[in-house]
Structure 1
Amino acid sequence: MTSRRTLSLRDRLFAGLAVVGLVAVAVAVIVTLTTRSYLVSQLDGRLDSYAGPAIIEQQIRPLFETEDSDDSRRSEAWRGWVDSDGMLHQVSSPTVEGATDATPVLTYDDLTDSSSYLTTASSDGSGDFRVLVRPFGNGWDITALPMDDVDSATARLVLIEGIGIALMGAGLAAAAWWVNRLGIAPMRRMVSASAQVAEGDLDVRLDTGAGSTETDELAHSLNTMIGTLTASLAERERSEARLREFVADASHELRTPLTTVLGYAELHRRGALAGTDAQDDAWSRTEAEAARMRRLVEDMLTLAKYDAEPDLELRDVSLATLATEIVANATVAYPATEFTFGGGDAVAHVDGDRMRQALLNVVANAAVHGGPHVTVTVVAAPDGALLTVHDDGPGMAPEVAARATERFVRGDTSRQRATGGAGLGLAITAAIVDAHHGSLDVASAPGEGTTITIALPAPNSSPAASAP
């Protein structure tokens, strides 16, 4: 099945202008023919006025023999008589100044049995005559007027129409060029650009001017769309890369405990674990690895929950109370590290349990990987509140600090898994803070320790705080 080819906008424009031009020419032709017909009809009326009574032979002979003619009546008409033999006899000629001496050329076929108007050539070929032929007696009475005025008026009309049509054609051509340049040509470039985008070329951009025409606005919109599409594709590629990295890291993290569990199970199945002490040690290690896998799976499920839409129970929480509680619990959990609450107080509209988990992850991470002293401080800000956790540990390289909140990223790649975890603590914290429309910043340098700042928005309700 073949599809019907339709005309492009440019072809339609040119076709429409061509039709307008043809209509203009047709109108000019009709006006010319109508005007000429009207002028000829007026000339016929003048022929009737000049014809008068029919000239008979008895009236002709005295005219032939008269030397002087009567000039009292000036006439533009040529009068004559055609006898039965077809001979044309001139009776009178035009008496106006500048009148032609030519006579109309008649043939026997032009002579009819009834009065008729006809157009004939002149004897000297300089123009045409409009002739009134009237049969009378044994011949025909002839009255003729030159058509010079009709021809000149028609010629002037044709000239004026020609100039008008030429000017109109020039105007239409200019309008077509203008419309094509401002409308159709940009549309064709947009079609070409869209085809390039469809083929995968996202670097194409359209030129835009300073005007506010619809095509220029459309070009701006198309450029914006291509830019948005490019950014979306780039973000999708980054997301896919992060997903592949996440899957690879998760597989790597799960491989070691699974290998340990399967190894001890294989030893037990083969009876290689002889003695109670060996079996207790194997089961203890198996239980530890299983617990580690459970924590890893729970952390990944927590991240997946925050990647969706977490269910938060928001209320006004005193951050000083929250920080004091975390410091007290961390002092018991990590006796080798000194924890200090640096003071300050602020109220944030947050989910107390989720924010406790986020701050605890940061403090625990500082206790395990930082120095011997960790300071937690609350700072009230004009547009919210800040929670800062600083440790005096070895710090991280800037490129590592920039990726510290990504999943399965460790600041110290050489640390042991027993103490290092899977690298999901800060990622979970960042997800919790982001769910509260806050931000998390990691500032660290080798030898200068690490400072993690959590910025939270101001409370929506009154500043009265409730216990977390």
Structure 2
Amino acid sequence: MWGVTLLAGAAVLTAQATGILVLHSWLLNRVDQQLTEFVLPDQAFADRDALSSGAAPDSLTLPSDFRVRFYSASGQERGTLGSGEKSGPQLPRSTSELRLQQGSQATIPAESGDGHWRVLWKAGPAQGTTFVVALPLDTVDGVMSKLLALNVGILAAAVVGLIAVGRWVVRIGLLPLTRMENTAEDITAGDLSLRLPDTDPRTEAGRLSTVLNDMLDRLQQALRQAEFSEARMRRFVADAGHELRTPLTSIQGFAQLALRHPDRPAAQRREADEQVAKNAERMNLLIDDLLLLARLDQEPAYRTDPVDLLSLAADAVSAAAVRAAGEHRVTLSPLDEQAEDAELDLVETVGDSDRLLQVVNNLLSNALAHTPPGTPVDVRVGTARAGAKSGGSDCPGRTSASPSLMEGTPVCIIAVVDQGPGLSPEEAERIFERFYRVDPSRSRDHGGSGLGLAIATAIAQGHCGRLELDTGPGEGCTFRLVLPLVEAARPA
């Protein structure tokens, strides 16, 4: 604001100075023109005695405020013409002291006071005679003095007005920043849901508000993710401690029992030893799962070999059929079994066959363990394009802990479909969480540690794919392992 004020003041001052100089030059040229055009009648040189005495002839009258001083051929003053209340020009008695050039105008002071006269030295009609004609500059000086005073007033008013209006305009312009400041103070106080107002993209403050709002959204999202990760870690540690506490307590109890009753019968000692070994094995498996999850979370390097998913699924189905022992019917079929010419074709991707087989085995084990005896389980293998209908992207009734794949991406799918009781939306929402069990009362000897699906999800994500679930109460469960086709596969 001060810079603009100084610049505007300098511009006004320059314009005023230019105007004063131009007007002063114009008025002075008018006076010079009058002096140049001034002509004395011949009778002004006729009565020399009258001129010598300083009195003009009665018949001679000078126009306006003209003053004339005559000099003889010898350079001495001969007389003057013109009179008035004003003090005349300060002219010497002889031309030797006259510091003028003939034919050129000059400005000299008055005999008394602070006035000035404009004079012109001319040649007279007689040989060697000269005279000096003069006009007062009182009018020019008066006009310039008044103009200068007026310009000073205008300049002062312009500067004061510019400062006042400028401060007002600047305050109005800074109102968005003031509102941003107030909102920022409220956000700092803890209300992270607030956002900055004035997001007009046509103004600098509006664009700044938009950028800051985007930054606040990302920061709030990062804080939520950090809080979620912290809560998840705490829950994971608590669940891991809870899972490890049970076998440890059992081992500790049987060990104390053996120390207190060393003379127990051999059958009781054998039973206690078997329980200790069983709980130790269970704890060892749980620790192995935890270490595996830790390695998978660190983005391990998977093998990048071609994998025939059809052969892999067939191996998993054969092993599951043996484990089912006639309680479940496990089958292998094409993905699009409704097509008339549907048949099992070669389905290839790139990745780690052992880890992918681990995922399929886990899905089959869950289907056999969590469905009633006699429930058929079907493993379907095929190719498709990612979408809400075929799989690979989110849709109502579908749950996954992995992000959606791009619509239309060529994918290969292994689906494990059972006709069991299915899961409620609340259970399906948490099915991929670590240590989560659908039935908390289920025996840990048969219900697992709750880490299988979390491990399977991590392996699927490591192969640029995802694990998803379609289910509903009474609709059974369909787990899909969705992976890129061999030409689009990009393993981690």
TM-score, normalised to structure 1, is 0.74
- Structural mapping, 1:196-207, within 5 Å: 196-207=186-197
Secondary structure of the corresponding residue to residue 395 of structure 1: coil
Counterpart position of 2:333: 342
Counterpart position of 2:448: 421
Q: Is the 8 A contact 2:367 2:377 kept in 1?
A: yes
Counterpart position of 1:440: 467
Would you say 1:103 and 2:106 are equivalent positions? no
Counterpart position of 2:58: 67
Secondary structure of the corresponding residue to residue 340 of structure 1: strand
Would you say 1:130 and 2:131 are equivalent positions? no
Q: Which among 250, 258, 261 is matched to residue 260 of structure 1?
A: 250
Would you say 1:408 and 2:400 are equivalent positions? no
Q: Deviations over 1:285-321 (max 9, x none)?
A: 0111111111111111111111111211123322111
Partner AA of 2:365 in structure 1: A
Secondary structure of the corresponding residue to residue 55 of structure 2: helix
Counterpart position of 1:381: 384
Counterpart position of 1:147: 138
- Structural mapping, 1:162-311, within 5 Å: 186=176, 196-209=186-199, 211=201, 214-271=204-261, 274-311=264-301
Would you say 1:118 and 2:118 are equivalent positions? no
Q: Quote the offset at 1:433 in angstroms.
A: 0.8
Which deviates more, 375-384 or 439-448? 439-448
Secondary structure of the corresponding residue to residue 63 of structure 1: coil
Distance 1:190 1:434 in 2: 42
Q: Is the 8 A contact 2:199 2:207 kept in 1?
A: no
CA spacing shift, 1:267–1:120, aligned 2, 3 Å: farther
Would you say 1:77 and 2:66 are equivalent positions? yes
Q: Deviations over 1:332-361 (max 9, x none)?
A: 123122211123542222221111001111
Q: Quote the offset at 1:445 in angstroms.
A: 2.1
Distance 1:120 1:194 in 2: 76
Would you say 1:395 and 2:422 are equivalent positions? yes
Q: Deviations over 1:370-390 (max 9, x none)?
A: 233211111311311121111
Q: Quote the offset at 1:144 in angstroms.
A: 4.7
Q: Quote the offset at 1:448 in angstroms.
A: 2.5
* Gaps in structure 1 of 5+ consecutive residues: 1-13, 82-88, 94-101, 123-127, 134-140, 463-468
Which deviates more, 238-247 or 159-168? 159-168
Q: Quote the offset at 1:231 in angstroms.
A: 0.4
Distance 1:295 1:80 in 2: 132
Distance 2:201 2:145 in 1: 48
Which deviates more, 346-355 or 265-274? 265-274
CA spacing shift, 1:67–1:461, aligned 2, 3 Å: closer
Distance 1:160 1:78 in 2: 33
Counterpart position of 1:356: 357
Q: Which among 312, 316, 319 is matched to residue 306 of structure 2?
A: 316
Q: Quote the offset at 1:211 in angstroms.
A: 3.3
Q: Quote the offset at 1:160 in angstroms.
A: 7.7
CA spacing shift, 1:277–1:203, aligned 2, 3 Å: same
Q: Is the 8 A contact 1:28 1:161 kept in 2?
A: no
Counterpart position of 1:6: none
Which deviates more, 420-429 or 448-457? 448-457
Distance 1:273 1:227 in 2: 69
Distance 2:110 2:248 in 1: 117
Which deviates more, 218-227 or 149-158? 149-158
Partner AA of 1:16 in structure 2: G
Q: Quote the offset at 1:79 in angstroms.
A: 5.9
Q: Quote the offset at 1:117 in angstroms.
A: 3.3
TM-score, normalised to structure 2, is 0.71
Q: Quote the offset at 1:219 in angstroms.
A: 2.6
Q: Quote the offset at 1:250 in angstroms.
A: 1.0
Distance 2:30 2:86 in 1: 15
Q: Quote the offset at 1:77 in angstroms.
A: 2.0
CA spacing shift, 1:166–1:273, aligned 2, 3 Å: farther
Q: Quote the offset at 1:28 in angstroms.
A: 5.4
Q: Is the 8 A contact 1:104 1:120 kept in 2?
A: no
Partner AA of 1:411 in structure 2: V
Distance 1:151 1:292 in 2: 114
Distance 2:112 2:377 in 1: 123
Q: Is the 8 A contact 2:328 2:377 kept in 1?
A: yes
Query: What RMSD over aligned residues (CA atoms) do the two structures have, in Å?
Result: 4.4
Counterpart position of 1:136: none
Q: Is the 8 A contact 2:176 2:198 kept in 1?
A: no
Q: Deviations over 1:167-217 (max 9, x none)?
A: 8998898888777766x5555555655555555442232235453555443
Secondary structure of the corresponding residue to residue 416 of structure 2: strand
Q: Deviations over 1:416-452 (max 9, x none)?
A: 1110011111111111111112122212222222111
Partner AA of 1:103 in structure 2: E
Q: Is the 8 A contact 1:51 1:143 kept in 2?
A: no
Identity %: 30
Q: Quote the offset at 1:16 in angstroms.
A: 1.3
CA spacing shift, 1:111–1:91, aligned 2, 3 Å: closer
Partner AA of 2:367 in structure 1: A
Distance 1:16 1:435 in 2: 61
Which deviates more, 173-182 or 432-441? 173-182
Q: Which has the higher helix share?
A: 1
Q: Is the 8 A contact 2:364 2:416 kept in 1?
A: yes
Secondary structure of the corresponding residue to residue 329 of structure 1: helix
Distance 1:79 1:221 in 2: 82
- Alignment coverage as a number of residue pairs: 417
